[in-house]
Amino acid sequence: KIINNNPELWLLNFVKIINEENKLIPFKVNAEQKHFLNNRSKYNLILKSRRLGFSTLSLGLMLYYAYQIPNSTYLMVAHDKTTLRELFNALKTMQNHIPDNIKLKENKNNRDELELENKSRIIIKCPDDGLGAGMKLQIVHLSEYALYSDNVQESALVAVEQSLAKNKDSMGIIESTARGVSNNFYKM
């Protein structure tokens, strides 16, 4: 019960990730990730340097909450298909290495969606495929937001805000490395 009520402990005890040396290790949050966990809110905007692990943390949080909240939906959006596939593979690695005694079976596991037996779903999309309009999302993560087209950047916030579930744990996470001063991410 203590572990299931704490995302950081749940990740450490039940989730494995591939580190920078290509080794499978327990998901121990780093200092930047811990700061985010302790200070997150419903709407989160992160200006970051590369390789701090915020996409990995977002995936881990999606998996954590998918296990805790039946019938919930999560959306990961990345700027291109290659990055999206890498992120989704990281999520599947996490799911595949959860201990069997707590691991939820998968109803669906394809190129775009992972659905667990409790009917929670984690979906991936590119920005041009839509950003959750018409969905009820527990978490939406917009990765490398500054690389999205100007049109998508401007429409993204409305779609994300309207799609978030109306509970205390739902959240939007927008993160990116800096990409100049002429985009919506810079203005935010």
DSSP per residue over 107-158, as a string? EEESSSEEEETTS-EEEEE-GGG-SSTT--BSEEEEETGGGS-HHHHHHHHH
C-alpha distance from residue 174 to each of 38, 49, 117, 119 (Å): 17, 14, 28, 25
Instruction: Give the tens place of pLDDT for each residue, 150-174.
Output: 788 777 778 778 888 898 889 999 9
pTM of the model: 0.92
Contact 42, 14 (CB under 8 A): no
Residue 156: the pLDDT is: 75
Task: For residue 79, give the amino acid letter.
Answer: H
Taking a C-beta distance cutoff of 8 angstroms, is the pair 97, 24 a contact? yes
Q: What is the pLDDT of residue 179?
A: 75
pLDDT tens by residue, 31-42: 999 999 999 999
User: How does residue 21 score in pLDDT terms, banded at 50, 70 and 90?
Assistant: very high
Which is more confident, 111 or 9? 9
- Quick check: 141 and 58 in contact, CB under 8 A? yes
Q: What's the pLDDT score for residue 5? A: 95
